[in-house]
């Protein structure tokens, strides 16, 4: 199995190759020549980033697409950065005020030159950059404070208050519902609390919710360069759709009627017409939000954690990668279309749109550093990354349209370019579509199986098939023609429609003596038949009949007449028994040349056992006849009879030659018959005795 | 070709028509290179991405060149091979500032060299390491190494660093090509 070996060699860390469908293995075997060109790999890039923090955008508006990503630093002493790569070179590096959660790019207006804005979600702020310069900052509207917290902060402003009591009060409130300021206060050491309160006393705290995920939604056109609205999802489970020009909230909705925190947002459609926002929640559910809805509707609930989510444009299939190494595909209404098991844990997903093939592939980053490309549920390609990919993006970079940028957990940045000639055998894919989860073949109906086998055989040896068919056809025609000729010459038929007489025959006995019973039936309703005779015609060398002609009396209407005839088969020993012969029967009317009826009766052959019995009876009777001879035949005849008898009963000579003259003569006669078969000796014996009996009996 | 015609040809009385194919990735400067070879009055001031291909004519040292300026865009690259058969020389333009796509250039060059219409012919190939003025441009030596040009044994090739905007390096390259084509034609006759 070269496919399996090949696959094993390619990824020694993936042990579950046997569970892959066969066609996947075949495709992987094609990978001797990769479909990807390794453009550049920088192990020293030292990037830390996550999915949805890497985008490809024409940020300078010159048609030279750049790679924009955030280098995330969670440690408090280090700052996260927004980096822009031109080709493989880092061209811009900006410090971000907070840990970014997501990056998007969108066109804010239709003005030329078309320069897209880059928006970075940092905490509850959306930082918008244009031409690599800060452009606008949008803050998520603050949420309502709990009355208790508000009360507490009012009391802090009072001259005499009990810090400890108020802090205990604050602790009684759910931590998630507190404002950031109170949360920080509760995390401080008691001795620092006083100073902290003093700093903020008198200012009402604002409860803001950090942005956790982002996406863009085209405003009124499906074009790739169309103006798009940023869509934000906050920790509180609120989705905001922003106006791309003035950055005000166009639409606000809850993710779900129950508490759900969005983690991934994907959109389809247009804001002004109809749209669908698909939200993956931390509670392992998928919610869908449509135009005019104030609340999303959960469509899918999973039992495993969602790692990444994709929305396939066109058919709007939702692709979900989960922690249990599964890739699920759901329709926009939440019906599962398929599931596929991956060989390793999924770390990120990336959509690979291939316009020239008018299809979309799904790139699945797997733990260990392999990237599998799926077309539907089938693996169509396989490529490697230096180590486990943490984020992937596919699209135009620089002048090249099909670039995949992979950023790994180890900080490596890897650029791959899809070859122009790569077609992923997609045209052949449809033919080989074996479902991944269905490892055993479908039961084939018997008829189809026969048909397939037959067609396989035909394909293997068409010449021989044709020849044998022609031969059989000729044989069939010959047999049919012979039967026709026989029928015509014998003019057989069991009934005569004109005379309305029916003849049937019955043969009794095992042989060589048979009884033939003929039944002649008058089928006529009102007319008697008379003047009939029956003539038998048989080969006299084979059959002897008791009578060859019998007259039939008058048969009244509706009655039948039975005619019994004894038939004896003439046995000829020594010759081969014929397998039964025919006796022809003619029913004739007096004074009429043509027979009324003619029939052929096929006689059964005499049973072998009966024949043997008769033969042995004959031999015995011949022996007795010999003994009862009245006159003594000459010595030469007696010696011959003796020798036949001995040969028949004892076989070849088995005694030593005696010394006396009589004994020697006998011995020599017997010896002369050496090698004669017992049956033949018997036959000869019978014949000899028969010949002698005429003269000496 | 008889002795007389050869003599006439060497004198430059009769011009010989040759076809050259100008290929390279999109945005590498093919049309700009070809534009520079044209007469002053025929030049266009603004170059736009070529769609499909365009045919330009120019002369160099009594050789009348017909240049097939092919589009370098991914979806038009499979048009190139249809012109391989009838060409006498190839000008391959490389954007030396595009480090990312050097692998793509190599891939396309390999496809070109393996094509049945090319692989058995002694076709001169001129490489222009274009955009040498860009600050992060690779040198022509590095490009030659990156493309594995030293492995081309059966064809004469030459790499020239160029700047198609100013015309720097172009003349030197095209003179080499003219010489090569002339040698091939003369040796044939």
Q: Encode pLDDT of A171-197 as tens digits.
A: 777 777 777 778 887 887 777 777 777
DSSP label at residue A444: P
Mark whether A474 and A574 lie in a shared domain.
no
Give A686's strand partners: none
Q: Which of B101, B107, B111 faces A399 most closely, judged by CB atoms?
A: B101
Dist. CA B147–CA B70, nearest whole Å: 20
Dist. CA A33–CA A8, nearest whole Å: 17
Per-residue pLDDT, A232: 92
Residue B4 lies in a domain: no
Q: Coil, strand or helix: which one is A590?
A: coil
A182 phi, psi to nearest 5 deg: -65, -35
Q: Coil, strand or helix: which one is A579?
A: coil
Task: Mark yes or no for CB contact B98/A398 under 8 Å.
Answer: yes
**B28 annotated as ligand-binding:** yes
Q: Which stretch of A560-564, A662-666, B129-133 has the lowest confidence by average pLDDT?
A: A662-666
Per-residue pLDDT, A15: 37
Report residue A293 as tokens.
Answer: 């809805």
Pick A4 or B118 by higher pLDDT. B118
Task: Mark yes or no for CB contact B100/A397 under 8 Å.
Answer: yes
Average pLDDT over residues A648-663: 79
* Bridging pattern class, strands B16-24 and B63-70: parallel
Residue B30: pLDDT band with limits 50, 70, 90: very high
Total count of domains within chain A: 4
Residues of B in contact with A34 (CB under 8 A): none
Domain boundary among A583, A606, A629: A606
CATH code, domain carrying B90 = 3.40.50.300
Give Cα A591 to chain centroid, integer Å. 80
Per-residue pLDDT, A20: 41
Range of the domain at A174: 147-200
Peptide bond into B42 cis (omega under 30): no
Helix (H) or strand (E) holding A520, with range, is strand A513-522
Task: Mark yes or no for CB contact A40/B27 under 8 Å.
Answer: no
Mark whether A522 and A596 lie in a shared domain.
yes
CA distances from A63 to A85, A237, A418, A526 (A): 14, 37, 20, 111
CA distances from A102 to A25, A264, A494, B28 (A): 36, 10, 99, 34
Task: Mark yes or no for CB contact B100/A356 under 8 Å.
Answer: no
Query: In terms of C-beta density within 10 A (0-12 exposed, 13-18 middle, 19 or more buried), how is residue A627 classed?
Result: exposed
The ipTM, to two decimals, is 0.86
Whether residue B101 lies within 8 A of chain A, CB to CB, comes out as yes
Pick A151 or A114 by higher pLDDT. A114
Residues of B in contact with A40 (CB under 8 A): 99-100
Dist. CA A322–CA A341, nearest whole Å: 10
Mark whether A634 and A670 lie in a shared domain.
yes
A129 phi, psi to nearest 5 deg: -115, 145
Residue A541 lies in a domain: yes
Dist. CA A190–CA A587, nearest whole Å: 134
Residues of A in contact with B74 (CB under 8 A): 356, 401-402, 420
pLDDT tens for each residue of A158-167: 777 777 777 7
Dist. CA A203–CA A197, nearest whole Å: 10
Total count of domains within chain B: 1
Mark whether A511 and A572 lie in a shared domain.
yes
**B29 annotated as ligand-binding:** yes
Residue A400 lies in a domain: no
Please report which residue ranges of A252-307 form alpha helices under DSSP H. Answer: none
Give Cα A308 to chain centroid, integer Å. 29
pLDDT tens for each residue of A239-251: 999 999 889 999 9
Residue B11 lies in a domain: no
Whether residue A400 lies within 8 A of chain B, CB to CB, comes out as yes
DSSP per residue over A70-137, as a string?
A: EE---STTS--EEEEEETTEEEEEEE-SS-EEEEEEEB---PSS---EEEEEETTEEEEEETTEEEEE
Mark whether A691 and A642 lie in a shared domain.
yes
Order across the sheet with A389-397: list the strands.
A36-42, A413-418, A400-408, A389-397
Task: Mark yes or no for CB contact A400/B101 under 8 Å.
Answer: yes
Residue corresponding to tokens 């920790």: A235
Per-residue pLDDT, A647: 82
Measuring CA to CA, which residue among A76, A70, A35 is closest to residue A54? A70
Mark whether A472 and A517 lie in a shared domain.
no
Residues A24/A16, Cβ–Cβ less than 8 Å: no
Q: Which stretch of A292-296, A377-381, A488-492, B121-125 has the lowest confidence by average pLDDT?
A: A488-492
Range of the domain at B80: 26-60+67-188
Dist. CA A276–CA A314, nearest whole Å: 13
Residue A542 lies in a domain: yes
Domain boundary among A606, A636, A665: A606
Per the prediction, chain A carries an average pLDDT of 82
Residues A611/A560, Cβ–Cβ less than 8 Å: no
Mark whether A568 and A502 lie in a shared domain.
yes
Residue B158 lies in a domain: yes
Residue A465 lies in a domain: yes
Residue A502 has pLDDT above 90, yes or no: no
Residue B138 lies in a domain: yes
Task: Mark yes or no for CB contact A39/B103 under 8 Å.
Answer: yes
Residues of A in contact with B25 (CB under 8 A): 399
pLDDT tens for each residue of B82-104: 999 889 999 999 999 988 899 99
Q: Which of A356, A400, A420 faces B100 most closely, judged by CB atoms?
A: A400
Report residue A158 as tokens.
Answer: 């009072």
Pick A235 or A614 by higher pLDDT. A235
Q: Length of chain B, please?
A: 189
Whether residue B102 lies within 8 A of chain A, CB to CB, comes out as yes
Cβ neighbours of residue A469 closer than 8 Å, sequence gap 6 or more: none
Residues B18/B66, Cβ–Cβ less than 8 Å: yes
Mutation for B interface: A38, A400, A419, most B CBs within 10 A? A400
Residue B147 lies in a domain: yes
Q: Which stretch of A8-12, A29-33, A292-296, A570-574 has the lowest confidence by average pLDDT?
A: A8-12
Q: Which stretch of A45-54, A473-482, A675-684 has the lowest confidence by average pLDDT?
A: A675-684
Whether residue A155 lies within 8 A of chain B, CB to CB, comes out as no
Measuring CA to CA, which residue among A86, A129, A83 is closest to residue A108? A129
R_g of chain B, CA atoms, integer Å: 16
Per-residue pLDDT, A689: 81
Dist. CA A554–CA A588, nearest whole Å: 13
* Bridging pattern class, strands B125-130 and B157-161: parallel
Order across the sheet with A228-234: list the strands.
A249-254, A238-242, A228-234, A211-218, A262-270, A274-281, A285-290, A297-301
DSSP label at residue A498: T
Q: Which of B75, B98, B136 faces A356 most closely, judged by CB atoms?
A: B75
Mutation for B interface: A399, A414, A420, most B CBs within 10 A? A399
Residue B16 has pLDDT above 50, yes or no: yes
Please report which residue ranges of A438-506 form alpha helices under DSSP H. Answer: 446-460, 462-490
Q: Coil, strand or helix: which one is B34?
A: helix
Q: Coil, strand or helix: which one is B146?
A: helix
Mark whether A471 and A500 lie in a shared domain.
no
In chain B, which residue's Cα lies nearest the Cα of A35? B107
DSSP label at residue A343: S
∠ Cα A539 A542 A544 (to 5°): 80
Per-residue pLDDT, B7: 57
CATH code, domain carrying A598 = 2.60.40.1230
Residues A66/A84, Cβ–Cβ less than 8 Å: yes
Q: Which of A37, A399, A415 faces B27 most closely, judged by CB atoms?
A: A399
Q: Looking at CA atoms only, how far is residue B65 from chain A in angstroms?
A: 30
Residue A16 has pLDDT above 50, yes or no: no
Task: Mark yes or no for CB contact A37/B107 under 8 Å.
Answer: yes
Whether residue B70 lies within 8 A of chain A, CB to CB, comes out as no
DSSP label at residue B187: H
Per-residue pLDDT, B188: 67
Mark whether A517 and A552 lie in a shared domain.
yes
Whether residue A399 lies within 8 A of chain B, CB to CB, comes out as yes
**B30 annotated as ligand-binding:** yes
Q: Which of A39, A419, A421 faces B100 most closely, judged by CB atoms?
A: A39
Calculate helix-pair angle for A163-172, A147-157, nearest 10 degrees. Answer: 170
Residue B15 lies in a domain: no
Residues of A in contact with B99 (CB under 8 A): 40, 87-89
Dist. CA A450–CA A245, nearest whole Å: 69
Whether residue B99 lies within 8 A of chain A, CB to CB, comes out as yes
DSSP label at residue B64: E
CATH code, domain carrying A688 = 1.20.80.10
Sign of the dihedral through C-alpha B163, B168, B169, B174: positive
């Amino acid at each position: 199995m070269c496919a399996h070996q090949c696959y094993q060699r390619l990824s020694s860390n993936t042990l579950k190759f046997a569970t892959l469908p066969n066609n996947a293995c075949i495709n992987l075997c094609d990978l001797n020549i990769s479909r990807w060109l390794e453009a550049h790999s920088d192990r020293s890039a030292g990037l830390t980033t996550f999915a949805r923090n890497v985008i490809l955008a024409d940020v300078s508006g010159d048609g030279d697409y750049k790679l924009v990503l955030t280098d995330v630093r969670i440690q408090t002493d280090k700052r996260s950065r927004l980096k822009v790569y031109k080709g493989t070179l880092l061209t811009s590096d900006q410090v971000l005020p907070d840990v970014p959660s997501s990056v998007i790019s969108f066109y804010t207006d239709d003005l030329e030159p078309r320069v897209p804005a880059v928006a970075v979600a940092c905490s509850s702020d959306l930082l918008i950059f244009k031409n690599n310069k800060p452009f606008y900052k949008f803050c998520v509207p603050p949420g309502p404070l709990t009355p208790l917290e508000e009360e507490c902060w009012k009391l802090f402003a009072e001259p005499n208050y009990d810090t400890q009591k108020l802090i205990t009060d604050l602790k009684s409130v759910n931590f998630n519902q507190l404002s950031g300021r109170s949360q920080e206060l509760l995390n401080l050491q008691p001795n620092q609390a006083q100073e902290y309160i003093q700093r903020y006393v008198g200012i009402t705290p604002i409860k803001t919710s950090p942005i956790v995920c982002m996406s863009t939604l085209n405003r009124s056109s499906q074009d790739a360069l169309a103006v798009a609205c940023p869509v934000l999802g906050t920790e509180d489970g609120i989705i905001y759709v922003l106006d791309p020009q003035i950055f005000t909230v166009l639409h606000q909705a809850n993710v779900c009627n129950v508490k759900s925190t969005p983690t991934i947002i994907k959109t389809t459609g247009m804001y002004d017409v109809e749209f669908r926002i698909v939200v993956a929640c931390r509670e392992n559910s998928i919610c869908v939000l449509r135009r005019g809805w104030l609340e999303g509707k959960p469509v899918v609930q999973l039992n495993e954690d969602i790692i990444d989510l994709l929305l396939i444009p066109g058919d709007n299939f939702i692709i979900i990668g989960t922690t249990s190494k599964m890739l699920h595909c759901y329709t926009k209404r939440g019906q599962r279309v398929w599931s596929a098991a991956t060989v390793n844990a999924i770390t990120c997903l990336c959509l690979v749109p291939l316009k020239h093939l008018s299809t979309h592939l799904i790139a699945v980053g797997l733990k260990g550093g392999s990237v599998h490309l799926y077309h539907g549920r089938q693996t169509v390609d396989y490529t490697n990354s230096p180590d486990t990919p943490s984020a992937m993006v596919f699209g135009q970079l620089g002048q090249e349209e099909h670039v995949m940028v992979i950023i790994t957990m180890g900080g490596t940045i890897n650029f791959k370019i899809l070859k122009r000639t790569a077609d992923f055998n997609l045209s052949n894919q449809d033919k080989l579509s074996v479902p991944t989860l269905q490892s055993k073949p479908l039961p084939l109906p018997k008829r189809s199986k026969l048909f397939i086998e037959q067609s396989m055989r035909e394909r293997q040896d068409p010449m021989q098939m044709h020849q044998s068919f022609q031969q059989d056809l000729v044989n069939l025609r010959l047999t049919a023609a012979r039967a026709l000729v026989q029928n015509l010459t014998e003019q057989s038929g069991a009934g005569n429609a004109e005379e309305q007489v029916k003849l049937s025959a019955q043969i009794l006995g095992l042989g060589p003596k048979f009884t033939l019973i003929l039944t002649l039936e008058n089928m006529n309703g009102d007319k008697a038949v008379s003047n009939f005779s029956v003539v038998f015609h048989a080969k006299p060398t084979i059959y002897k009949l008791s009578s060859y002609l019998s007259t039939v009396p008058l048969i009244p209407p509706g009655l039948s007449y039975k005619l019994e005839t004894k038939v004896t088969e003439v046995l000829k020993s020594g010759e081969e028994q014929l397998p039964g012969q025919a006796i022809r029967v003619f029913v004739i009317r007096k004074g009429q040349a043509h027979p009324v009826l003619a029939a052929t009766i096929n006689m059964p052959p005499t049973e072998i056992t009966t024949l043997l019995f008769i033969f042995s009876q004959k031999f015995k009777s011949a022996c007795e006849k010999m003994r009862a001879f009245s006159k003594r035949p000459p010595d030469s005849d007696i010696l011959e009879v003796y020798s036949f008898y001995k040969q028949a009963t004892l076989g070849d000579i088995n005694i030593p030659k005696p010394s006396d003259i009589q004994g020697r003569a006998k011995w020599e006669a017997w010896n002369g018959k050496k090698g004669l078969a017992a049956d033949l000796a018997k036959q000869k014996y019978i014949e000899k005795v028969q010949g002698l009996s005429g003269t000496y009996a | 070709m008889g002795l007389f015609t050869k003599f006439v040809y060497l004198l430059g009385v009769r011009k010989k028509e040759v076809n050259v194919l100008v290929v390279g990735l999109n945005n590498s400067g093919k049309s700009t290179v070809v534009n520079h070879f044209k007469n002053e009055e025929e030049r266009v001031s603004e170059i736009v991405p070529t769609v499909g291909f365009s045919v330009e004519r120019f002369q160099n040292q009594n050789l009348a060149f017909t240049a097939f300026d092919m589009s370098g865009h991914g979806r038009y690259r499979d048009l190139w091979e249809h012109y391989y058969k009838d060409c006498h020389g190839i000008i391959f333009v490389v954007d030396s500032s595009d480090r990312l796509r050097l692998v793509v250039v190599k891939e396309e060059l390999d496809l070109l060299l393996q094509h049945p219409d090319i692989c058995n012919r002694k076709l001169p190939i001129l490489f222009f390491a274009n955009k040498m003025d860009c600050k992060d441009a690779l040198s022509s030596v590095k490009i030659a190494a990156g493309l594995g040009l030293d492995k081309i044994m059966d064809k004469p090739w030459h790499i020239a660093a160029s700047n198609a905007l100013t015309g720097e390096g172009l003349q030197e390259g095209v003179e080499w090509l003219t010489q090569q084509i002339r040698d091939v034609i003369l040796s044939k006759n």
